[in-house]
Amino acid sequence: MLAEASGKLDLSECELASVPPAVAGLPGLEELSLAGNRLTALPAEVGQLSYLARLQLAGNQLAALPPGVCELSALQGLWLHGNLLDSLPEELGRLSALTQLSLSGNRLTTLPASLAGLQALHELGAAGNQLASLPPSIGELPTLKKLSLHGNQLRELPASIGGLSALEELSLQGNPRLSSLPAELGTLPALRDLSAADCALTSVPAELSQAPALQSLSLYGNQLYHFPAEILQAPKLKTVWLEGNPLGVEAVATLLAALPASGVSALGLDEAQLAQLPLATRDPLVAAAGPKLRVAAVAPGGPGEGYFKLERAQRASAHGASSSNGSGAGASGSSSLSSIGGNGSSRPSAHVLVVSFGSAPGTPNWGGLLKKVRTAAVDPEEADFDVLYVVDPRRAWYGGGDEGYELYEQRLRAACAPYPHVIFIGDSMGATGALLFAHLATEVHAWTPQVDLATSSIRPGQGPEWQAILRHRVLKGVGACRGKVVVHTGSWRHDLDQARCLPTQAGLKVQIYSVESHRLALALDRRGLLVQIVRSAVLQAMGLTNKDNMRLANLF
């Protein structure tokens, strides 16, 4: 509806197949939302809304964007994610006032060279497309702070990316054809977070050691045999994650030797990498590294196939080796190292496994919360659970509508099999993942999942058939769960409608909170409630009493 004084018109989720002609007759309109409808095209008259500053078109079926949209000289925000776009008009560069452009979850193979005209752009999201390359003009965006390109088909990055003087975050994970990074990344003065995990990198430029603002470097799940140890000396670098790479003996030893004197607070390696070292070499290096070294087990898998990382409980395992704590810190001096193989034969260090599914950004985003759960333990036994981080770097909803589902299902089944109690958690895309594979769990907690992608504004760039298969698999997974399923949703209509797609059945509960936002998990975390929910589930699985005596129904 239109609020006359505010200049806003909200027609989101109205099942519109076309834009009402009357919209073009509102010249003073400043904000227009058409998200979550069934639009296949936009009328050229939209370009006549000369005062329009925000245009929401996410979650439709748009295959093309009319050039008229590029005449909106006042436009500051344009949201096009979750459509079927395979190209963009070259005139896009005329949107000189644009600060935020969301293109994720489409079918784009290229970006227009005219991007250089977006001189005010702060954030560009193009994850989950089919981009094979970037135009050199990408480096001519002086105000760009965040660039999300994960889940594409990039083969390389242009050297011109070194011109992004304001860039703070660069997400490249899940590009299975990306084998190298340009040295120019080391010259970016503001780059703080760089993720190129789950790609096909065979080398990393030593110039990253010169990156003055770099704090986080995620390169797990690549094909790195060597890693320049001097990168650990980058002035502000704090975390480096290298698990799931075929690092050679010399590379591992050199990294461990360089770690104690560096400013890095967390270096992630996996058990298989450390197991290569002779005991006489490994034990002193691991002891010297202390809590800076974080050790986990990694399940095998090729580039872009998803990342499985197991952090064991901090206790003596059946093999006599202690392992990681809630923050992933590896135990020093461990003499027996094992990994979770494809057949799931590894013996668990605990009876409870918490599986966290990463959301659309393609990163293991539950680590901080699960660390809080361990920290809240009153007795040591309350922290005695293992954690498996599962990430879909392709932003593909865990392959729910294609053959990728079987790959994830097989690996999850193998990883979960040794545990009598398995708890799945996830939010948004991660929540969908938790429901997809609910038949493998004894308890599931899913925050704001997408169940019916046909009516969701948050989705990949897939057609109706793919979406229908995913929905069928979600319903089947929930129906086959051998325990209880709790779906947590806020009061935002979009999320409520998604939760209502689930059938009424024994063991399924929909918990509604008075939070008008899709980011429900974040809102609960800020209020200290999310840790209580997960901790209660863990303690119940352990057969322990929850001393907080919290009831979910009384949280709000």
Token pair belonging to 160: 């011109």
Element (H, E) at 310: strand 307-311
Which domains occur in the chain, in start order? Answer: 1-130 (3.80.10.10), 153-304 (3.80.10.10), 352-542 (3.40.50.1820)
pLDDT in tens, 350-387: 899 999 999 988 888 899 999 999 999 999 999 999 99
Q: Band of the pLDDT at 227, cuts 50, 70, 90?
A: very high
- State the Cα angle at 193 between 190 and 196, rounded to 5°: 125
User: What is the average per-residue pLDDT within 296-315?
Assistant: 78
pLDDT in tens, 326-358: 333 333 333 334 444 443 334 566 899 999 999
pLDDT at residue 555, as a whole number: 47
Query: Is pLDDT above 80 for 253?
Result: yes
Nearest to 288 by CA among 255, 311, 314, 315: 255
Query: Is pLDDT above 90 for 6?
Result: no
Cβ of 405: how many Cβ atoms within 10 Å?
Answer: 20
The number of CA neighbours under 13 Å toward the Cβ of 62 is 31
Q: Band of the pLDDT at 451, cuts 50, 70, 90?
A: very high
- Residue 124, beta-bridge partner list: 101, 147
pLDDT at residue 306, as a whole number: 80
- State the Cα angle at 188 between 223 and 162, rounded to 5°: 80
Radius of gyration (C-alpha) of the chain in whole angstroms: 24
Q: Band of the pLDDT at 553, cuts 50, 70, 90?
A: very low
SS3 131: coil
Least confident of 121-125, 236-240, 338-342, 429-433: 338-342
Is residue 425 within 8 A of residue 355, CB to CB? The reply is yes
CA distance 392 to 360: 8
DSSP tag of 135: -
Q: How far apart are the first and last CA of the chain?
A: 29
Least confident of 147-151, 253-257, 266-270, 542-546: 542-546
The overall average pLDDT reported for the chain is 90
Query: Is pLDDT above 50 for 41?
Result: yes
- Total-model pTM: 0.90
Q: Band of the pLDDT at 195, cuts 50, 70, 90?
A: very high
Is residue 450 within 8 A of residue 471, CB to CB? The reply is no
Q: Band of the pLDDT at 307, cuts 50, 70, 90?
A: confident
pLDDT in tens, 463-518: 999 999 999 999 999 999 989 999 999 999 999 999 999 998 999 999 999 999 99
CA distance 99 to 142: 12
Q: Band of the pLDDT at 5, cuts 50, 70, 90?
A: low
pLDDT in tens, 153-192: 999 999 999 999 999 999 999 999 999 999 999 999 999 9
Amino acid at 464: P
- Surface-to-core class of residue 318, CB atoms within 10 Å of its CB (0-12 exposed, 13-18 middle, 19+ buried): exposed
Q: Band of the pLDDT at 302, cuts 50, 70, 90?
A: low
Query: Is pLDDT above 70 for 431?
Result: yes
Is residue 231 within 8 A of residue 206, CB to CB? The reply is yes
pLDDT at residue 326, as a whole number: 33
Q: Which one is predicted more confidently, 556 or 274?
A: 274
Q: What percent of the chain has pLDDT over 90?
A: 84
pLDDT at residue 4, as a whole number: 55
pLDDT at residue 547, as a whole number: 55
Per DSSP, the chain holds a count of helices (H) and strands (E) of 10, 21
